[in-house]
Amino acid sequence: MTYSTNKSNLIPAHGGYRNLKSYQTSTLVYDLTVGFCNRFVKESRMRDQMVQAARSGRQNIAEGSQASGTSKKTEIKLVNVARASLEELLLDYEDYLRQHRLKTWTKIDSSAQAVRALAYKSNRTNETYKAYIQTQESFANTLVCLIHQANYLLDQQLRALEKDFLEHGGFTERLYNMRKQRQ
């Protein structure tokens, strides 16, 4: 969903976050984290913290996208908050695996490679990962892979946002230029 408020392009089209691969991947991370925590995380504070970090990753992408029409600075800040939230969640999964003496997949593990390959499927859902979320070890490692993918996408998104901001400026610059042109 993209919005445009007028024909002058003072407030450019914005939104459209549902089409972003970073948002789609972070939605999977959120949904699967809720499932993981409900099944395997007994301590309520830890469960709440993990779900909130996953939710924050997803929600901040959406909020940043919506704010982008009038504040590129806010968009960059919120996408960075999403990235930081997912990094926190990644540490939680790594801690979970270590504390439960479960194997942590390396990049060359066949299971990790299989999960990473699923990123190229269109219209991924929780069902896409069903074969990898049967045990706590595989489930946690699958989420580690997905978080790495989401973080990679967010890093790319941040680079593109920074480049666009440096090349085109933001709302304040557009406002100034439009006012200057009217004089």
| Domain extent listing, the chain | 2-115+134-182
CATH of domain 2-115+134-182: 1.20.1440.60
- Please tell me the distance from the alpha carbon of residue 58 to that of residue 134, in angstroms, as a whole number: 24
In which element (H, E) is residue 2 found?
A: strand 2-3
Reported confidence tier of residue 10, pLDDT bands at 50, 70, 90: low
Asked whether the predicted pLDDT for residue 13 surpasses 60, the reply is no
All residues at 6 or more sequence positions from 163 whose CB lies less than 8 Å from its CB, including other chains: none
* Predicted pLDDT at 167: 72
| Choice among 31-35, 68-72, 118-122, 147-151 with the minimum mean pLDDT | 68-72
Mean residue pLDDT of the chain comes to: 87
Reported confidence tier of residue 110, pLDDT bands at 50, 70, 90: very high
Reported confidence tier of residue 180, pLDDT bands at 50, 70, 90: low
* Predicted pLDDT at 16: 77
CB atoms within 10 A of CB 77: 14
| Choice among 8-17, 40-49, 69-78, 136-145 with the minimum mean pLDDT | 8-17
The b-or-e profile of 83-115 (16+ CB within 10 A means b, else e) is bbbbebbbebbeebbeeeebeebeeeeebbeeb
In which element (H, E) is residue 78 found?
A: helix 72-99
Express each pLDDT in 34-56 by its tens digit.
999 999 999 999 999 999 999 99
pTM here? Answer: 0.84
* Residue 116 Cα distances to 15, 33, 40, 66, 70, angstroms: 28, 17, 23, 29, 36
Q: Which residue has the higher pLDDT, 167 or 156?
A: 156
- C-alpha torsion sign, points 88, 91, 96, 99: negative
* Segment 122-130 mean pLDDT: 94
Percent helix, strand, coil in the chain (nearest 5)?
75, 0, 20
Apex 50 CA angle, 49 and 55, nearest 5: 95
Asked whether the predicted pLDDT for residue 122 surpasses 80, the reply is yes
In which element (H, E) is residue 166 found?
A: helix 136-168
* Residue 114 Cα distances to 29, 64, 136, angstroms: 17, 32, 17
* Predicted pLDDT at 169: 64
* Predicted pLDDT at 67: 79
| Choice among 53-57, 73-77, 137-141 with the minimum mean pLDDT | 73-77
